[in-house]
A and B are shown apart, each in its own frame.
Chain A
């Protein structure tokens, strides 16, 4: 068993940023564990541009964005193990992992950062009737096949779900010579970014059908066609069925944080985000186990993943240096009136830097116009900001001055909600 100050599970954008921040905060005995053959995680297959506008003030592709962080990891001499699968995380933070090079091994770190990312919701979770022919892929699988392996998974394509990966793949498959006929979205609004609807669908004349879903898949060996229908109150409307000939169906129906390891360790998981519940330091219910990035909650921009993960790296470093848990009150954060969840889920005032800020990230449960984001300490409003448009596809961020919370020593909870502007 080897001792470490910090082990980071996952070498994608979250793991890389967490490692760099922890190293810069003085932690030298640290290690990144990555299951793939290279660092960078999902960014390696996201070859499109649009990453890094916040972080680097220029528009990078996924591999370029990952490259910036990988370079820092290498310059700082942060050790990492590739082709390494973590099999278990125990409640006492013992990590069991395996690789061809090292066989089965155990690590005993003082702190762990969970940075395992998320995976796509598969067909099995969508209840689409029909046979199980070849030709049904999640959008991310198709993305890996096209961009990394060099295969085109189909020529006539229908896409279910308007998440960003689905929209990006509509454009990518079109450029590679496939005919993308339609993108169908169950909800009355798109789950993806507006800019992706413009530059991935509108640019190529691909129609987006809101409030539509797949009600049948035809074909036994290979997909031969699908049937779409309009949806009202969650049910397909009879008589609105439309048939599309196609050989491929791509699914872009949401992402699920990958928390098998967290659950096995006994980390408390939020039923809303499917990620760990964390305090202001991004620390889970197990002291010394932190979480950041898409394993914590699904982000819209990688820039925010890097930012959040860097914070987790700094908090982990602080815990390792002091070796002391913060004591004192814990204020839960309640969500109301359109706010689905917040990260963090609670704040310990004693852990706040009195001159600093604390970042609250959240998503809303529908499309809202002319609202205000309001934060209450007890029943006292301490923050308010106008938002002309809020949508579930886009993450909201509130930077709260620590002072505002510390100035309310008697409150028992915080509330985040939407109000009419």
Chain B
């Protein structure tokens, strides 16, 4: 039996977790203060995922950039694929919060959505 120590990233409490592994299978998780902690440890040790946040350029908007995120978590080893896919994306204003900016980013099956609304820039300003 192998012991692995992790810090839960589920919330800012950052609980110190201890997982017991046997043949790459998670046998038990301790140290968590909620059920998300156990879920996190099991996921982190088998197929770790992250929500990715970034920004993309806006054309004709009141703001130069709009903040975006993956609508749900994606595999950790695809973070950079996701960021590269966003490199040359430019979105025309207006943009509404939750609007899909890029569907199925880097083949993950997860959409990139806007996390902020951007209005069209007023003419002359």
Contact = CB atoms under 8 A, between A and B. Distances in A.
A67 B83 contact: no
Contacts of A410: none
Interface string A293-307: 000000011000000
Interface in B82-109: 83, 97
Interface in B22-72: 50-55, 57, 63-65, 67-69
Interface in A227-244: none
Contact of B55 (A59, A64, A147, A197): A147
A197 B12 CA distance: 11
A329 interface: no
B116 A149 contact: no
B12 A300 contact: yes
Contact of A195 (B7, B52, B79, B116): B7
A267 B50 CA distance: 45
Counting chain A CB atoms within 10 Å of each CB, the highest count among B6, B7, B53, B68 belongs to B53
Contacts of A148: 55, 63-65
Contacts of B7: 194-195, 197-198
Contacts of A59: 51
B75 interface: no
A114 to B, nearest CB: 25
Contact of B11 (A61, A195, A197, A203): A195
Counting chain B CB atoms within 10 Å of each CB, the highest count among A44, A47, A59, A394 belongs to A47
A63 B54 contact: no
B4 interface: no
A149 B11 contact: no
Contacts of A1: none
A49 B53 contact: yes
A90 interface: no
Contacts of B11: 50, 53, 195
Contact of A67 (B52, B69, B80, B117): B117
A53 B57 CA distance: 28
Chain B interface residue bracket vs A: 20 to 34
Interface in A31-67: 44, 47-50, 53, 59-64, 67
A64 B50 contact: no
Given A53-B11, A148-B64, A195-B11, A61 B53 contact: yes
Chain A interface residue bracket vs B: 20 to 34
A146 interface: yes
B125 to A, nearest CB: 11
A150 B115 contact: no
Contacts of A176: 54, 83
A175 B83 contact: yes
B79 A61 contact: no
A197 B7 CA distance: 9
A199 interface: yes
B97 A50 contact: no
A60 B65 CA distance: 18
Contact of B97 (A48, A64, A146): A64
Contacts of A50: 11-12
Counting chain A CB atoms within 10 Å of each CB, the highest count among B10, B67, B76 belongs to B67
Interface in A44-95: 44, 47-50, 53, 59-64, 67
B122 to A, nearest CB: 12
A193 interface: yes
B1 interface: no
A198 B67 contact: no
B18 to A, nearest CB: 13
Interface in A252-276: none
A195 B12 contact: yes
Contacts of B51: 49, 59
Q: 9 closest Cβ contacts across the A-B interface?
A: A194-B14, A47-B67, A63-B116, A195-B9, A61-B115, A195-B14, A150-B65, A53-B11, A194-B7
Given A48-B53, A195-B10, 14 more contacts: A47-B54, A49-B51, A50-B12, A63-B67, A146-B55, A147-B67, A148-B64, A150-B64, A193-B14, A194-B14, A195-B14, A198-B7, A198-B14, A199-B9
Interface of A: 44, 47-50, 53, 59-64, 67, 146-150, 175-176, 193-195, 197-199, 203, 300-301, 389, 394
22 contacts: A47-B53, A47-B68, A61-B67, A61-B69, A63-B115, A64-B97, A147-B65, A147-B67, A148-B55, A149-B64, A149-B65, A150-B55, A150-B57, A175-B83, A195-B7, A195-B14, A197-B7, A198-B9, A199-B50, A203-B50, A203-B79, A389-B16
Interface of B: 6-12, 14, 16, 50-55, 57, 63-65, 67-69, 76, 79-80, 83, 97, 115-117
